[in-house]
Structure 1
């Protein structure tokens, strides 16, 4: 009789290399069905609802439960403790299906996405091959929001990476302790009692939980992907496995009592209901893996504890439930890329009912084909030709993906180096903003910077590390312009204040003033109001502002240069927030006037932010890839209202150097305006220097 099929990537209950002395516990087919339900919820919520269902959290708990139980059985039975053998088994299960999906994504990227997106996806392909996709996503600060065409087709691989990282930790802990005990006692079958693993896994889970709870209130976009924050969910599943291994079986008469059966059934019903309801009740993007993730995690543990012999257990291990569980892992791998590429091809921000149904159907077909053609052959005996062929093919394809990604990255880095090495542009060929401000005429020429290099066309403060990151509360200060000048401008605020440093540096050296910077990512100066970073609070920004205000007061600059408007959330135009005015009042009390720069237009289409370089690479024009002025800016600069009440506020407005009539183009005077969705290229800001100089002169009277 053949062994029961084990889907790849989750229930890694490998039989040890030696015979087991303890009876192997029955396979929990109900939990395989639960895994299928969890992934089905993930797919449905991603495709149609744009929400996190909590199914991945269920998946992670089951991963910890199954894998830890397998390791403890191996250690207790005297099986081999060779970690490389076990890691090899994991790679053989996870690797080929994952590589197949990565190859599909690479091909679809080359065919459907503009080349400006290739470098990001190439980096994510490599991170997928080596199981650190969650860190790649955290580093690039991608938000795991509702799917839209600008989201990565590999964004869902964070959970696979966290899962693999847990495997490594669990192998080291369980096999490491068992190995130490065997050597110290000279007994082949020696293993720590399961209670030891229970304490270790439960304790580590508690530490990770506290860390995750703190991260939810600090920087959720990082916390969502952070292995340290995610591990508590998997470790708790591991702790439950250790508890099951340590407990004594209940007496038969107790297990058969009606009260016991009723209690287990009620527990299972509540657990399954909570799993299904989780996505409707909780905003997982902003709450998980913090305390609210206990909702799906405890629901999963309830279903584990209830056992297989309940009405819910029978439902989960029905023929449909087992089939759904058997395709769960490849279904998870395929559904997200299909969704993202469909949206990218259609240009729509979300899938309608018919499109979503087609995506799900295609995902199921690909998942079934992956199981039949890849996963099942890999379970054949070690020397079988299909198993060897699939393993070798996956290894070759993985190597090709890594080499191809590395080659493309090398080409991009060389382009970036060439860009950074050349600061001077021919003013006749590349007038940039002077085409709008001075009536200069630009001949036909290639756009600079090159679209591929544009994201790296950064202000000097970013290049030199003179901007605080999201978790830095200390005020980082650098100096530019004429360092010996007696006049000083303090440049303070977020990256939208930062991109003016390029022109301020040139003006300072030419006109004789010093520029002192106080900059922080995503953090405009704010007082009296908790700033937000996406959907989450940004307390580090408030602390940083207070530090900066104290330092600015001590510095006593002639002016503070900062942004004065923001795009109106959920509507058109821009406005001046009250917390900006609070800052200006505070600076006024210090006797420091403010140079208040109106913010640049942000690129948004149909409620979805976009990059001009992607639009241009996809065949768009300077105008079609630009932003309607009326959608981005109010007819009158909102800063003027505050300046009437506060004479110390000197409004600056360079939107006439960014917008050509009703459109704010993506390219002006052969110079690319934007390096991403809303930051100006350093090259374009350089062409704004003369116009900025005229505005500052009018406000300060310095020249």
Structure 2
């Protein structure tokens, strides 16, 4: 993938010598698979796993040969050489990404893009994405234009670790024994990392996908092969089968496996072992019908084809460019996948930019480096790395400061209810005649942070949590207690619930979890049993049995683009609460949107951001249908406030100058607070506790 793996004969030889041109062709196949699957299929191909494998193969071989030749590893020289080769292209692409974001991406995405450019420049983008992958509220966000830097970040961390590991091996085993000792050390890393990868992939696949520890075995596998490949000399027919079989397996990997939801784990052995087979088939310069480099029908005849090798030389730059170009194309066209012609344009532009970057940027940096005397080369390399990365970091920092200043100004602005009625516009339509044309609140730029105290205080836990975090509001000696329990789409009612509870002197207890319905059904996530939800749900029931609130506020339906239902598990939970003497207030799930609210409004115009109610809602409330059939427990009261969020059977992004949803399915806390009067009326009716206060 990186330029440190290509460009010199040193990095294309087997550990005992021998030019390996087929590796350049293998790299070309891998980057084509990555780009084609991303652009036209919206899938992951396994090509990145090949890049990780090749990195381990080439870097291990290079470092071990250096140790055998010189008796030392020289990590600082290794790192500065990498900086000189890696950073010029990275600096140019990151600066271009900031420019593209400013010109073509919605303002609501700017803060995240800036933060991820920083993470990419400092080689920890994989950890930023891992954190977002387990953050349910971040999952619906559009893909970042630097999301693909996750694999480069893992490589960067590998480059930092590997010279230290092999340096320690060299100190222990000496020059003559380093190959055998390195095989033991790297083999141990391979076994431990693969074992961890299999475990964490089964437990938390979204996190595992970006976890360096779960990916390190792929690089170690390449390292092991680098140390033993010269000893593997299969006969011609076996080489023939290994070469073509490995190439076919690599091409078919993304077709036959759901890579994005199954990798890394043992499934990633498919592309990595396929690449290993191709390398074994091409090693040794054998001859015969299936021979290596000299065989007439070997796979090398394809992999050493001059155009393919030329593409392999551009693979690093092409990988860097194709993803941000694709993200901008999809944003401008409003598509989720490229058309055949549009995708061809994306690929052609990416190739053109890759060629210019390779020749002008990378080539220019190398030409300048040749003018520097050898003793000063490490200093020059480090200085150049700082200079080429600095523009993106400086621009990003200045831009981020501007955004923070704008947020502060907006926060200090007084918001008059008559100018921002929100849901009050539904119950008082006459306000529409005097509604001024003002900027939307909250501003789409920071709408994702418009969350309730329930979230900010940690009462809403993430996907990995198994223990409820219980929070309280209202007097301890209250005569009436409501518990809010459920998933994030229950939690977004909290701002209104809290105000009503405090106004009436009720005690409000709340604990919710991302993606976890309050249900007796077996939950699933990412194709696996959601065990964390099962454990959380069981503990939630234990807490409710201990607390014995007067009522539980939770969702009564689940709405999605596939329809709206009341699952059997919901009803079972309500029956269990009835046995405890606890009432249930079932709030009908609000409609989901085909668009992300903040992003759509930011991209404008807001009037175009709308869906029909039927996009995710059934014609009739499924829970109400069950009630009519007498299939609901007697302790359940149903509430449906859909019309106050989607008036006139239209789900608009903005109602009464207030942004309704910040993403596809979660209300902003600001809009939820405008629902206080109707929530109060519904809760008073459901609980029989007091009268609604006037103009609450």
Residue 3 (structure 2) aligns with: 8
**1:480-495 residue pairs with structure 2 within 5 A?**
480-495=473-488
Deviation track 1:550-582 (CA, whole Å, cap 9, x = no partner) reads 11112111111111222234x3x4222222223
Q: Is the aligned partner of 1:443 residue 2:418?
A: no
CA contact (8 A) 2:459 2:512 kept: yes
Residue 270 (structure 1) aligns with: 245
Residue 640 (structure 2) aligns with: 653
Q: Is the aligned partner of 1:466 residue 2:434?
A: no
C-alpha spacing 1:413/1:555, structure 2 compared with 1 (3 Å) = farther
Deviation track 1:527-572 (CA, whole Å, cap 9, x = no partner) reads 232332x555422111111111111112111111111222234x3x
Which one of the candidate residues 330, 341, 344 is aligned to 1:357? 344
**In structure 2, distance between residues paired with 1:511 and 1:641:** 32
C-alpha spacing 1:512/1:63, structure 2 compared with 1 (3 Å) = same
Q: Is the aligned partner of 1:97 residue 2:89?
A: yes
Deviation track 1:289-331 (CA, whole Å, cap 9, x = no partner) reads 0221111111112222223314112321221231121111111
**1:267-666 residue pairs with structure 2 within 5 A?**
267-308=242-283, 309=292, 310=295, 311-380=298-367, 382-384=369-371, 395-414=386-405, 425-439=415-429, 441=431, 442-532=435-525, 534-569=526-561, 571=562, 573-604=563-594, 610-621=595-606, 623-643=607-627, 644-645=630-631, 646-666=633-653
Residue 3 (structure 1) aligns with: none
Residue 109 (structure 1) aligns with: 101
Residue 607 (structure 1) aligns with: none
* Gapped regions of structure 2 (runs ≥ 5): 284-291, 691-696
CA contact (8 A) 2:108 2:447 kept: no
The alpha carbon displacement at 1:198 in A equals 1.6
Deviation track 1:136-162 (CA, whole Å, cap 9, x = no partner) reads 222222899xx9993222111111111
Larger CA deviation: 60-69 vs 451-460 = 451-460
**In structure 1, distance between residues paired with 2:400 and 2:652:** 29
The alpha carbon displacement at 1:654 in A equals 1.4
**In structure 2, distance between residues paired with 1:482 and 1:287:** 48
The alpha carbon displacement at 1:214 in A equals 2.3
**In structure 2, distance between residues paired with 1:497 and 1:264:** 59
**In structure 1, distance between residues paired with 2:449 and 2:221:** 42
Residue 287 (structure 2) aligns with: none
**In structure 1, distance between residues paired with 2:429 and 2:662:** 24
Residue 224 (structure 2) aligns with: 239
The alpha carbon displacement at 1:233 in A equals 0.9
What SS does the aligned partner of 2:473 have? strand
The alpha carbon displacement at 1:453 in A equals 2.3
The alpha carbon displacement at 1:630 in A equals 2.0
Larger CA deviation: 398-407 vs 155-164 = 398-407
The alpha carbon displacement at 1:212 in A equals 2.0
Q: Given the two structures, how large is their TM-score scaled by the length of structure 2? A: 0.89
C-alpha spacing 1:446/1:318, structure 2 compared with 1 (3 Å) = closer
Deviation track 1:371-401 (CA, whole Å, cap 9, x = no partner) reads 2112233344734289999987764342121
**In structure 2, distance between residues paired with 1:420 and 1:84:** 48
CA contact (8 A) 2:98 2:396 kept: no
Q: Is the aligned partner of 1:678 residue 2:670?
A: no
**In structure 1, distance between residues paired with 2:241 and 2:494:** 64
The alpha carbon displacement at 1:436 in A equals 0.8
Which one of the candidate residues 677, 684, 691 is aligned to 1:690? 677
Residue 210 (structure 1) aligns with: 195
Residue 186 (structure 1) aligns with: none
**In structure 2, distance between residues paired with 1:539 and 1:421:** 44
The alpha carbon displacement at 1:264 in A equals 1.8
**In structure 1, distance between residues paired with 2:415 and 2:474:** 20
What SS does the aligned partner of 1:359 have? helix
**In structure 1, distance between residues paired with 2:409 and 2:495:** 18
**In structure 1, distance between residues paired with 2:250 and 2:54:** 13
**In structure 2, distance between residues paired with 1:234 and 1:450:** 44
C-alpha spacing 1:215/1:164, structure 2 compared with 1 (3 Å) = same
**In structure 2, distance between residues paired with 1:461 and 1:593:** 22
Larger CA deviation: 101-110 vs 64-73 = 101-110
CA contact (8 A) 2:119 2:128 kept: yes
CA contact (8 A) 1:141 1:221 kept: yes
Deviation track 1:89-109 (CA, whole Å, cap 9, x = no partner) reads 112221111111112211111
What SS does the aligned partner of 1:231 have? helix
CA contact (8 A) 1:495 1:521 kept: yes
> How many pairs does the alignment contain?
665
CA RMSD between the two structures: 2.9
CA contact (8 A) 1:142 1:221 kept: yes
**In structure 2, distance between residues paired with 1:553 and 1:642:** 26
CA contact (8 A) 1:219 1:536 kept: no
C-alpha spacing 1:634/1:369, structure 2 compared with 1 (3 Å) = same
The alpha carbon displacement at 1:415 in A equals 5.3
CA contact (8 A) 1:374 1:390 kept: no
C-alpha spacing 1:456/1:166, structure 2 compared with 1 (3 Å) = same
C-alpha spacing 1:7/1:431, structure 2 compared with 1 (3 Å) = closer
**In structure 2, distance between residues paired with 1:626 and 1:135:** 35
CA contact (8 A) 2:7 2:313 kept: no
CA contact (8 A) 1:54 1:278 kept: yes
**In structure 1, distance between residues paired with 2:2 and 2:222:** 18
The alpha carbon displacement at 1:585 in A equals 2.5
